[in-house]
Amino acid sequence: MILRTPLAAGHQMQLQLQLLLLPSVLLLVLHLLLCDAKTVNPGDGMQVQHHQMTAEPGLPEPRAYMPDAQHLDFVYHDHEELTRFLRATSARYPNLTALYSIGKSIQGRDLWVMVVSSSPYEHMVGKPDVKYVGNIHGNEPVGREMLLHLIQYFVTSYSSDQYVKWLLDNTRIHILPTMNPDGYAVSKEGTCDGGQGRYNARGFDLNRNFPDYFKQNNKRGQPETDSVKDWISKIQFVLSGSLHGGALVASYPYDNTPNSRLLKGICRSSALCAMFQTYSAAPSLTPDDDVFKHLSLVYARNHAKMSRGVACKSATPAFENGITNGAAWYPLTGGMQDYNYVWYGCMEITLEISCCKFPPAYELKKYWEDNQLSLIKFLAEAHRGVQGFVFDPAGMPIERASIKIKGRDVGFQTTKYGEFWRILLPGYYKVEVFAEGFAPREVEFVIVEQHPTLLNVTLQPSKRLEGIGPMGPGAVPVGGGVGPGGLYRPIPAPQHYRPPVPPYAGAASSDSGIFSTISNGLNSLYSNIFG
């Protein structure tokens, strides 16, 4: 632990308090890891210490809310205004930003992504790429505006804020302020609930439009979703946040569950619902649950009020510490966060940042004050855990080596530079590395709190087989081949990482029948009311 002096004077007391709460969470997590405790009193471990969470001890903390150095109005920006802002910013800060489009919406609006980094045009080998996605639901635009302000804040404080400088020097941050510009165009300011503008121009809910780990998703892929799928297949994102409105909570995978269950949140009084309590939503936890909880807590604890876990309305759930497992809240099929995690090993969580989906513009400044620190500190979590390269004996990077942290059955792959990253909490781990033509390897390593663990793994070619491969003597290897020195590289058994088979694949059939019909009906009602 690193003891730090209190923040400089002038910072808001409230934010200071939250900063001070953060270390206690880390302590608790550590405590859980080391002591294998089953329950923890959230009052324990409270200490007036300030803990540096990132790779660079001695850095000052990011500032609590600071007014923008340059002006970006706290109003909603329509697509033309948003485009103009992004273009102007990238023209003004060519060394810190790059603007690209990942595709177009149905109605032809560009899906703009702004990269903010000291290396905006090129991936920095060995350093993580991270992302934020806003406005996937068109009528939930607070995140869209928050992301514009985040861009503005980054570029204007790079030279004056050491923390921002460190973050941008060591991370490439990709920001997609709106994934659903068409939905936004038909949404109405001041409308707190309901579905108008939620969907894309063809009426599809984009956060139900991704391939699903647990259930077959028969929804036709939409251009907005396809663009995002293509995007995340090309860049190895380590960490991601998807911004929503309609609740105040950080929600983490899985969103879906092998079993269909009814919802308990809206069922409090009715006798019918009580009967269905046994089907009520239950958590659907990933093997990286500790990490997802931690990431969610980082957001919630750095937020002005999320971690208080106060219900938005009396009829809506209150979330302990401001976080929830997605499925425990309500299960959904085809969500973006499960897809990011299962297919690409990107740790994405869903950030519900406003009780009202489309609050009046005069509240935006307050939302920015509430979320600014969370938005920044969350991204820095990409620098926690293990990172490194996989090489062959000649020191050449091995692309698409498959990696698993032992005991965490959702794997991931190396990039074309042989890089990998995985966010992990302090503890002892084993990594398993497989690559075509190489002997698999296991390596043990330790994660500490203060900095990421650097781990390079060299794989040795698989055994010399003297022409007697798995196909028998004399067989001509197809796509394999004889390497230097007569080294036969057999086509491997499919050891490569693939999205794993759902643990309870057989149970998915429970998706039909009366319970499921009721469940689905409630579910869409529920999601129209919330997030």
Ligand X SMILES: *[C@@H]1O[C@H](CO)[C@@H](O)[C@H](O)[C@H]1NC(C)=O
Does the footprint of Zn ion cover residue 50 (CB under 5 A)? no
Does the footprint of ligand X cover residue 454 (CB under 6 A)? yes
User: Can you tell me the distance from the alpha carbon of 130 to that of 25, in angstroms, rounded to the nearest whole number?
Assistant: 23
- Which residue number, 95 or 160, has a Cβ lying nearer to ligand X? 95
**Residue matched to tokens 């802002």:** 85
Which residues participate in catalysis according to the annotation? 352
- Which residue number, 134 or 411, has a Cβ lying nearer to Zn ion? 134
Does the footprint of Zn ion cover residue 137 (CB under 5 A)? yes
Binding segment for Zn ion among 58-66, 67-75, 135-143, 255-263 (CB under 5 A)?
Answer: 135-143
User: Can you tell me the distance from the alpha carbon of 199 to that of 352, in angstroms, rounded to the nearest whole number?
Assistant: 17
Does the footprint of ligand X cover residue 70 (CB under 6 A)? no
Q: Is the dihedral of CA 195, 199, 205, 210 positive or negative?
A: negative
Q: From the centroid of its chain, how far is CA 305?
A: 21
Binding track, positions 369-388, relative to ligand X; x by CB under 6 A: -------------------x
Does the footprint of ligand X cover residue 154 (CB under 6 A)? no
Q: Could you say which of Zn ion, ligand X, none residue 244 binds, taking C-beta under 5 to 8 angstroms by partner kind?
A: Zn ion
User: Considering the complex, what minimum distance in angstroms separates the CB of residue 137 from Zn ion?
Assistant: 4
Both tokens assigned to 280:
């009520």
Q: Count residues binding ligand X (CB under 6 A).
A: 5
Figure out which of the listed residues 344, 389, 421, 429 binds ligand X, where binding follows CB under 6 A: 389
Binding track, positions 215-254, relative to Zn ion; x by CB under 5 A: -----------------------------x----------
Figure out which of the listed residues 233, 456, 509, 520 binds ligand X, where binding follows CB under 6 A: 456
Both tokens assigned to 521:
């009906």
Q: Could you say which of ligand X, Zn ion, none residue 454 binds, taking C-beta under 5 to 8 angstroms by partner kind?
A: ligand X
Binding track, positions 82-121, relative to ligand X; x by CB under 6 A: -------------x--------------------------
Binding segment for Zn ion among 136-144, 145-153, 179-187, 456-464 (CB under 5 A)?
Answer: 136-144
> One-letter amino acid identity for 530?
F
User: Considering the complex, what minimum distance in angstroms separates the CB of residue 46 from ligand X?
Assistant: 36
Does the footprint of Zn ion cover residue 531 (CB under 5 A)? yes
User: Considering the complex, what minimum distance in angstroms separates the CB of residue 456 from ligand X?
Assistant: 4
Binding segment for Zn ion among 26-34, 138-146, 212-220, 480-488 (CB under 5 A)?
Answer: 138-146
Binding segment for Zn ion among 129-137, 159-167, 218-226, 321-329 (CB under 5 A)?
Answer: 129-137
Q: What is the enclosing helix (H) or strand (E) of 427? A: strand 427-434
Strands 468-469 and 472-473: antiparallel
Both tokens assigned to 325:
């497992």
Closest CA to 344 of 462, 497, 201: 497
Closest CA to 368 of 140, 156, 146: 146
User: Can you tell me the distance from the alpha carbon of 356 to that of 333, in angstroms, rounded to the nearest whole number?
Assistant: 24
Phi, psi of 420 (to 5 degrees): -150, 160
Q: Could you say which of Zn ion, ligand X, none residue 62 binds, taking C-beta under 5 to 8 angstroms by partner kind?
A: none
Closest CA to 252 of 217, 279, 225, 287: 287
- Which residue number, 388 or 502, has a Cβ lying nearer to ligand X? 388
CA distances (Å), origin 345, targets 141, 233, 325: 27, 11, 18
- Which residue number, 92 or 202, has a Cβ lying nearer to ligand X? 92
- Which residue number, 313 or 416, has a Cβ lying nearer to ligand X? 416
Cα dihedral 10/145/347/279 (nearest 10): 110
Q: Could you say which of ligand X, Zn ion, none residue 205 binds, taking C-beta under 5 to 8 angstroms by partner kind?
A: none
CA distances (Å), origin 125, targets 84, 163, 238, 384, 476: 31, 21, 13, 17, 38
Extract long-range pairs of 33-42: CB within 8 Å, 24+ residues apart. Answer: 33/290, 33/425, 33/426, 33/427, 34/427, 42/321
Does the footprint of ligand X cover residue 158 (CB under 6 A)? no
Q: Could you say which of ligand X, Zn ion, none residue 531 binds, taking C-beta under 5 to 8 angstroms by partner kind?
A: Zn ion
Binding site for ligand X (CB under 6 A): 95, 388-389, 454, 456
